[in-house]
Amino acid sequence: MLVICEECAKKYNVDEHQMKGVKARFTCPKCGHPILVRREDSEPTPHHGNTVLADNPRL
User: DSSP per residue over 15-36, as a string?
Assistant: -GGG-SSSEEEEE-TTT--EEE
pLDDT at residue 6, rounded to an integer: 95
pLDDT at residue 39, rounded to an integer: 85
pLDDT at residue 44, rounded to an integer: 54
Residues of the chain whose pLDDT is less than 50?
45, 47-48, 59
Burial class (CB in 10 A: 0-12, 13-18, 19+), 54: buried
Burial class (CB in 10 A: 0-12, 13-18, 19+), 44: exposed
pLDDT at residue 32, rounded to an integer: 96
pLDDT at residue 59, rounded to an integer: 45
Distance of CA 16 to the CA centre of its chain: 10
Domain boundaries, the chain: 2-53
Contact status, residue 46 vs residue 23, Cβ threshold 8 Å: no
